[in-house]
Structures are given as C-alpha cells and as structure tokens.
C-alpha cells in the first residue's frame, strides 16, 4: 500500500487534493469509516445506507454507486493485511466563494486505506470513561448523519485524554447523554439494553444499528432508545460503546463506578465477530 496508507481521489491514486474544496472550506461533506477483513469491507450496505441519508440531508447529487465502486477498488489494495480501515470522504467539491452551494455541484470522493496495527478480532479491555465539558450542539437537521464538522469531538477527545481516559461521555446542551466521543453508548439495566435517542444531535452508528436490529435480539435482549442521564450510566449493570473499528468495547470505569465483568458486551462481541467472518 506504499507504506501503511494509500489515498484515492475520485477513484485515482493521488497524493494531493485539488483546491478549492468545500469540504476543507466549510466542512461541507460526509464521511464513513469501514473496517476491512482480508480486503472485504464489512457491513458496506449499512454504511452506504447512512451515507445516502446524509447525501439527501445535505442536498448532494447522487454518488452512492460511484462511492461503492471506489470503496471496492480501494479495498482490493489491502493486500495481505488481515485487518485494515477505509475512510470514505464525500465533499461537495469545488465552488465559488461564499457559503451558498453551487447550483451544479460536482462531488469529490476521497478514499484512504490504512492497515491496522492490532487484531480487530480481539475485544479490547475495558476502558476508563471520562466526561467531556464541551457539549454536542442540538441541530435536528444534521442529527444522525456523519458530516465533516467534528470540532466538538476533537475538543472532547483532547479533554478526556487530559483526564487520563481512553474515551469520554458527551452531553447535549441540556446535560442529557448523547454518545461516547467516538462511538455510541449502551447500558444494561433489568435485562434490557438502553442507548441514547439521537433526535437532536449525535451520529447514528452502523454498529449501533446492527446491535439493535440483529445481535441483541439474537441473545434475547431488547434495545430501547431513551433519554439517558449520567446517573443512568452510573447505576447500570454494564456499560459499553460501539464503533466501526473497535466493534463493541466494554467500559471498566466511569466516575466512582467500576465494572469488573462484562458478560453481555462479550456475548455481543462474539455475535459481531461471527458476522465479520
């Protein structure tokens, strides 16, 4: 892969991006992060379904099939790596100065392939969860999609790292739990799983959807989308988060609470891993 990373722009291997680009100028775009196993993009349909929701929300021209083809071609470059990551970025492309989008946009795709340095088939140990001071802005028009504006997460990640934590909890302006910095949170209580509703902000993760629709029901667990408070996490029997690269990661510490066992997260990870075969 020319080292551990290779990049394609509009389907052509490149080392530079033509400017101007509205993704750089205004964050006018979307992205998806896909895990590859032996060159196979996992759950690609689920990723592309979310991408399509984002394209519709932002008023982009149709580029879904082109994106699929470019992902598949880039995935073929994974070589002998067992695990790798593809990041697909779709911007509105070039445009005149000013916020207003061009009447006839020509979206630009950027695909980056990076080999993983660890075995994504092994569930990571329980993490220490911090609490980010920065809040997720409430904007229902953008809720759920994975747009390029991630400064809240950048600042939150720096905050929780300063706390000596591997991940963090993000809240909305009212103090309600939204998500982890880089994933969706779940907690177990009274034999059911709960995850924050995302009607006003947050990213609706692909693993969040698959867990709710497929893996949790397969082991007899219901999943409820609720308004979640910090106190709900602290009183939970188990807490974990999901994302595309780590799958299902247990939480070992949050505030004054320590969880030493994670049986539900472990069972769900086995379901997830079976689907990655």
Query: Is pLDDT of 3 > 50?
Result: no
Q: pLDDT digits over 13-62, tens only?
A: 998 899 999 999 999 999 999 999 999 999 999 999 999 999 999 999 99
Q: pLDDT digits over 59-102, tens only?
A: 999 999 999 999 999 999 887 889 999 999 999 999 999 999 99
CA distance 43 to 68: 12
Q: pLDDT digits over 149-194, tens only?
A: 999 999 999 999 999 999 999 999 999 999 999 999 999 999 999 9
pTM of the entire predicted model? 0.95
The structure tokens 């399509």 sit at 52
The overall average pLDDT reported for the chain is: 96
Query: Is pLDDT of 2 > 60?
Result: no
pLDDT of residue 156: 98
Percentage of residues in the chain with pLDDT exceeding 70? Answer: 99
pLDDT of residue 252: 98
The pLDDT confidence band at residue 216, using thresholds 50, 70 and 90, is very high
Query: Is pLDDT of 274 > 60?
Result: yes
Contact 66, 107 (CB under 8 A): no
DSSP symbol at 212? I
Query: Is pLDDT of 219 > 80?
Result: yes
The pLDDT confidence band at residue 121, using thresholds 50, 70 and 90, is very high
pLDDT of residue 1: 43
pLDDT of residue 80: 83
pLDDT of residue 277: 84
The structure tokens 């075969």 sit at 277
Mean pLDDT within 200-219: 98
The more confidently predicted of residues 277 and 243 is: 243
């Amino acid at each position: 892969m020319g080292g551990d990373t290779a990049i394609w722009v509009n389907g052509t291997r490149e080392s530079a991006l033509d400017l101007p680009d509205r993704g750089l100028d205004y964050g006018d775009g979307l992205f998806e992060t896909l895990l590859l196993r032996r060159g196979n993009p996992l759950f690609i349909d689920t990723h592309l379904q979310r991408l399509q929701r984002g394209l519709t929300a932002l008023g982009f021209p149709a580029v879904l099939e082109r994106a699929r083809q470019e992902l598949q071609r880039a995935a073929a470059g994974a070589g002998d790596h067992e695990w790798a990551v593809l990041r697909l970025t779709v911007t509105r492309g070039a445009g005149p100065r000013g916020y207003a989008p061009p009447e006839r946009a020509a979206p630009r795709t950027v695909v980056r392939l990076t080999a993983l340095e660890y075995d994504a088939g092994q569930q990571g140990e329980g993490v220490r969860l911090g609490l980010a001071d920065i809040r997720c802005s409430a904007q229902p028009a953008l809720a759920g999609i994975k747009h390029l504006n991630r400064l809240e997460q950048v600042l939150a990640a720096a905050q929780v790292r300063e706390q000596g934590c591997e991940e963090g909890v993000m809240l909305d302006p009212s103090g309600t739990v939204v998500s982890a910095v880089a994933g969706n949170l779940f907690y177990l209580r009274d034999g059911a799983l709960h995850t924050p509703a995302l009607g006003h902000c947050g990213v609706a993760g692909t693993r969040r959807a698959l867990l709710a629709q497929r893996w949790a029901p397969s082991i007899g667990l219901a999943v409820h989308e609720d308004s979640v408070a910090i106190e709900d996490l602290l009183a939970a029997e188990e807490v974990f988060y999901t994302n595309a690269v780590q799958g299902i990661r247990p939480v070992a510490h949050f505030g004054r609470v320590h969880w030493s066992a994670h049986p539900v997260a472990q069972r769900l990870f086995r379901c997830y891993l079976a689907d990655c075969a």
